[in-house]
Amino acid sequence: MKLRIGILGTRGIPNYYGGFEHISEYVSEGLVKRGHSVTVYNSHNHPFREDAWNGVKIRHCFDPEYLVGTAGQFVYDFNCLLDARKQNFDAILIMGYTSSSVWGKLYPINSTIITNMDGLEWKRSKYSAAVQKFLKYAEKLAVKYSKYYISDSLVIKAYLTEKYNIESKYIPYGADLFSKEEREQIGIEDALKEDYFLLMARMEPENNIEPILEGFNNSSSHRKFMVLGDTGNRFGKFITHKFKNDERIEFKGSIFDTAKVRALQNNSYLYFHGHSVGGTNPSLLEAMASEALIAAHNNPFNKSVLNSDAFYFSNSKEVRNLVETVQRRGPEQAMVSNNLHKIKYQFNWEKVIDQYEQYILECYRKSNYEQIV
């Protein structure tokens, strides 16, 4: 059975932004290769201006976020939904709910609605109490107006079952194995093998950047600590100022060359993953696929992915201990190998795309059977 599928809720593809754009790129292209007709909605500000990408149809909708800020996201999602109502999609996949679920009454009634339920956005400390309250409300609306749900983390799946008594389909993100070409991205002049620590994240408090760098700052390590991420926001400026006197810490800014980032991950002595909110994090999977040795913030999201194949920390003191004591020997190489095995057999894109296709088909059949009955 071949379906007409619409994907909403992202800024668009190809990916220039983040997690949902990343997975939408892979899933949409994969579904097209399996014979489905797939349309992805793009912001009119997206750098890609064509009407098709690798067989995926692109619909460009007006997005006023550049004019009015965050409120523009709601207008953009509204415009996407108005257009989707005219397209006669068999199924609509909505990536996230932050600015779309308020328009739940506008979801096309003849399309099977499936929502990827995102990563407990209301827990993010960057949001004010009022915004956190709204995000809880938006989550509730997403549950109300969707009939089928996807969780990218087993932790989120359990949360949705307990909170709303709904069943969601667990489908994680994927990652590509580290290629020979990516290995060649870093020359000896850029980095000696395993001679620096690495952190890559948005500059936000819940990514635990401050305790990670504080732990390193207090350590006796002779290695460099490279930080990848845009430091132009308020928290980024605070962090760069706080650690400006530690010459070992190098703020590299954002690097959008994926091959370069993965080569840096592969070459690092220890890769710090501080994310504490959200589901299966794409950058964590890419670090695993890049054969990095990982130190992760101690929380259920990270542990559900890494299990015992990482070092864990909860505060700056524990970070300092890792910086000063972690070795690169047999047990550590086994951790790297075990994580690579997970990428090959659990978090690979072909399996992820297969799961999306099977679940969308299953939901579509269920919806049509219920309408007939």
Query: Which DSSP letter does residue 194 get?
Result: T
Three-class secondary structure of residue 189 per DSSP: coil
pLDDT at 250 over 60: yes
pLDDT in tens, 101-150: 999 999 999 999 999 997 666 666 666 788 788 888 999 999 999 999 99
Say how many CA atoms lie within 13 Å of 289 toward its Cβ: 26
Q: What is the CA radius of gyration of the chain?
A: 21
* Interatomic CA distance for residues 5 and 36, integer angstroms: 7
Could you tell me which residues come within 8 angstroms of residue 64 by beta carbon, excluding any fewer than 6 positions away? 72, 75, 76
- pTM for this prediction: 0.87
Question: Is-cis flag, bond preceding 172, omega within 30?
Answer: no
Cα–Cα distances in angstroms (integers) from residue 70 to residues 76, 79, 101, 127, in the given order? 10, 15, 15, 12
Domains and CATH numbers, the chain: 4-174+348-372 (3.40.50.2000), 180-345 (3.40.50.2000)
pLDDT at 182 over 90: no
Could you tell me which residues come within 8 angstroms of residue 191 by beta carbon, excluding any fewer than 6 positions away? 264, 267
**pLDDT over 90 percentage in the chain:** 74
pLDDT in tens, 44-97: 999 999 999 999 999 999 999 989 988 899 999 999 999 999 999 999 999 998
